[in-house]
Amino acid sequence: MIRASFGLSFAFAAGCTPQVVTISNIIVAVRTVKHLLRLSRQLSSNNVYALNVSYKELGSFLKNKSFSTSVVQQMEQRGTSQTQGNSILRTRINQTSTAANELFKLLYTRANQNSTPELKNRMRSDIDAKQNIFKDRMKKAEEVVSSIEKSSKKYDDILGYIQVATGLEQIDHYIRDVDDVIIQAQSLDRQIQTALKENEAIVSGYG
């Protein structure tokens, strides 16, 4: 019974071991956030550039009324690239927020380990201030990402309209082909019927 009590006490004590926060931990966390921010900034720049190029090309296509199969395929490639780029950017933004939360959590842990109330409160206040500023900036970044996604979706809507219109135009072309075939068939049928009647008349003459 004594052994069980000792084991339980030991496990409880071990479970309450405070997290060891070192400057190395903090530096790694900071570098992770900085790295993800750089990636997000570069991706955002690339996506906006690709979006501008896509709409500029679209304007040229509309002006020239040129929507051949190759043009539509080029637009499809642009649209696919935009979708993929936006997905990666959204992932990076989410990863950045998660990494930043881990950093602030680490700083809070270290601040809470301080036994001097004045110092603890000051550190917690400083962390809160920085975290609020960071969250505000990330919120604005997410709004920009949403705007990029909406512009890309609008491009995809226009592409979809052009795809359907092109398809209907092709259908019109095939309908005309079918009409021509029907007219030709009807003409041949009349010729055949006429020939048969003439032959029937000739044969009847021998009767």
| CA dist 63 → 12, 54, 154 (Å) | 75, 14, 18
* Cα atoms found within 13 Å of the Cα of residue 107, Cβ hemisphere only: 22
Cβ–Cβ under 8 Å, residues 32 and 99: yes
pLDDT at position 66 is 77
Which of 29, 13, 12 shows the shortest CA–CA distance to 108? Answer: 29
pLDDT at position 1 is 41
Q: Is the dihedral of CA 124, 125, 130, 131 positive or negative?
A: positive
pLDDT at position 13 is 45
pLDDT at position 15 is 53
Intervals of the chain under pLDDT 50: 1-14
pTM of this prediction exceeds 0.85: no
* Cα atoms found within 13 Å of the Cα of residue 77, Cβ hemisphere only: 8
CA 147/CA 34 separation, integer angstroms: 23
pLDDT digits (tens, 9 = 90+) for 82-110: 999 999 999 999 999 999 999 999 999 99
Domain ranges across the chain:
19-158
User: Which ranges constitute the DSSP H helices of 65-116?
Assistant: 69-112
